[in-house]
Amino acid sequence: MADLITDVGDELMADLLDGTATAPTLRAGWGTGAGTTAKGDTVLFTEASEARVLTTNSQPSSKQNQLIATITADGTKTITNAGVLDAASAGNLIAKSDFAGIGLALNDSIQFTFQINHA
For 73-95, how does the pLDDT look when each residue is reduced to its tens digit (9 = 90+)? 999 999 999 999 999 999 999 99
Q: Are strands 64-72 and 56-61 parallel, antiparallel or unpaired?
A: antiparallel
pTM higher than 0.85:
yes
Q: Show the domain range for 10.
A: 4-117
Alpha carbon distance 48, 89 (integer Å) = 12
- Per the structure, the count of domains in the chain is 1
pLDDT digits (tens, 9 = 90+) for 30-42: 999 999 999 999 9
**Is 102's pLDDT higher than 90?**
yes
- Which helix (H) or strand (E) segment holds residue 8: the answer is helix 7-18
Cβ contacts of 11 within 8 Å, gap of 6 or more? none
The answer to whether 7 touches 96, Cβ cutoff 8 Å, is: no
